[in-house]
Amino acid sequence: MPLLLEIKDLITAFDTAQGRLKAVDGVSLKIKSGETMGIVGESGCGKTMLALSIMRLIPANGRIINGEILFSGRDLLKISAEEMRAKRGSEISMIFQEPMTSLNPVFRVGEQIAEAIRLHQHLPAKKAMELSVEQLREVGISDPQKRAQDYPHNLSGGMRQRVMIAMAMSCYPKLLLADEPTTALDVTIQAQILDLISNLKQKNKMTVVLITHDLGVIAQAAQKVAVMYAGKIVESSAVEEIFANPLHPYTQGLLESIPARCGQSLERGGYLKTIPGSVPSLYNIAPGCRFYDRCSYADEECSGKEPPLEEINPSHFVSCWKYGAKKNN
């Protein structure tokens, strides 16, 4: 399959009173048409900022200071703001993390979906509203004609998330960025939302970037996964390979912290494994591996120089001195 999105050495930084913070620091990714790429990591690792960088929706005090974002071969960082606005919603859409804060509370949900359709498809208001109702039906909302007249606060969390998906899908984009689409939903609704995104992806031949902290979501919905830590990708491969053969100590720690994989009963004296320490401050990044202070394998070399992201096995990349350059020395 051809590449749809290629990110090369992307750096997104924020200038603050405490100094410069690189929320995304040298990230490179290749995503093929039709696949689902999962981005996983702890809160604050840069997952959401990576998605906002692709959309060119960086907050006012931030900017992209390096890299390329090639979408269908064109660098999104070199096109005009007007052309980028035209791509948002039509070719690239995003489901934001909090539907209650992403939806406008004073407009009916049907009107909000219709607005995107009017802007990108240049249709009259009546036709756009008809299509918005169809989109609500497409995402499994019962009685969509009635629900289109509701305000966001009239809907449950799961229904609001479906509205956000309907809005994102209203112009049939090539690329969908889904930022924590199952956050704050119960397990049953989570599964429904993931199935819905998967079905819409297949139906519309769409590519999906799925951002989450939940490895269970990655296992269910993605084909490939990139693990982020402190603004960088530390490991990436096919989902099956990552779960069967995690190489980076951080990835191993994430997988070991899943109760079902602990091999211990949590009901009778069992324990849940955790990763010691905390994520380093991005203001004062020390030289060397960013996971150094939390890693049981760390040695002197790990604290002196940052390991490159290298292909250790076919299509399996890892940034760790335990492999690659260190192994070959």
Q: Is residue 112 part of a domain?
A: no
- Report the domain count for the chain: 1
Does the residue 171 lie in any domain? no
Within a domain: 290: yes
Local structure of residue 246 (DSSP, 8 states): -
Q: pLDDT digit string (tens) for 30-69? A: 999 999 999 999 888 999 999 999 999 999 999 999 999 9
pLDDT of residue 231: 95
Rounded to an integer, what distance in angstroms lies between the CA atom of residue 88 and that of residue 52? 11
| Mean pLDDT per 10-residue section of the chain, whose length is 329 residues | 95 92 96 97 93 96 96 97 93 88 92 93 94 95 96 93 93 95 85 93 95 91 96 97 96 85 53 82 86 90 90 94 64
Q: Which two tokens stand for residue 172?
A: 């049939």
**Can you read off the two tokens belonging to residue 42?**
């702890």
Beta bridge partners of 27: 10
| 47 within a domain of the structure (yes/no) | yes
Query: Is residue 103 in a domain?
Result: no
pTM tops 0.85, yes or no: yes
CATH code for position 240: 3.40.50.300
pLDDT given for residue 326 in this prediction = 47
Per-residue pLDDT reduced to its tens digit, 75-87? 999 999 999 999 9
Q: Is residue 142 part of a domain?
A: no
In a domain, 68, yes or no: yes
How many whole angstroms separate alpha carbon 282 and alpha carbon 272?
Answer: 28
**Residue 127 placed within a domain:** no
Domain containing residue 279: 3-79+177-189+211-328
H/E element, 147: helix 144-147
In whole angstroms, what is the distance from residue 127 CA to residue 135 CA? Answer: 12
Q: Which residues pair with 5 in a beta bridge?
A: 31, 71
